[in-house]
Amino acid sequence: MTPNTLNSQDQSIKQVTKSTGKRARFISKLNSYGSKLGLANAVRYK
């Protein structure tokens, strides 16, 4: 393993963690939006 390959692996790992962080934020946003909708529907259909 040369330092160069180690460095490129580190870069790709950082890239992956960045994209998964974005996706996790997006999913949590969707989940909170969905729960708001669910609450509104529950109130409407009581």
Residue ranges of alpha helices (H) inside 1-46 are 3-44
Higher pLDDT, 42 or 1: 42
Work out the percent of the chain whose per-residue pLDDT is above 90.
0
Q: What is the pLDDT of residues 12-34, one digit of tens each?
A: 878 888 888 888 888 888 888 88
Token pair of 24 as six digits: 């996790």
Higher pLDDT, 1 or 33: 33
Please check the confidence at residue 11 and state whether its pLDDT lies above 60: yes
Token pair of 19 as six digits: 């994209």
Please check the confidence at residue 1 and state whether its pLDDT lies above 60: no
pTM of the model: 0.45
The residue with tokens 């490129």 is 8
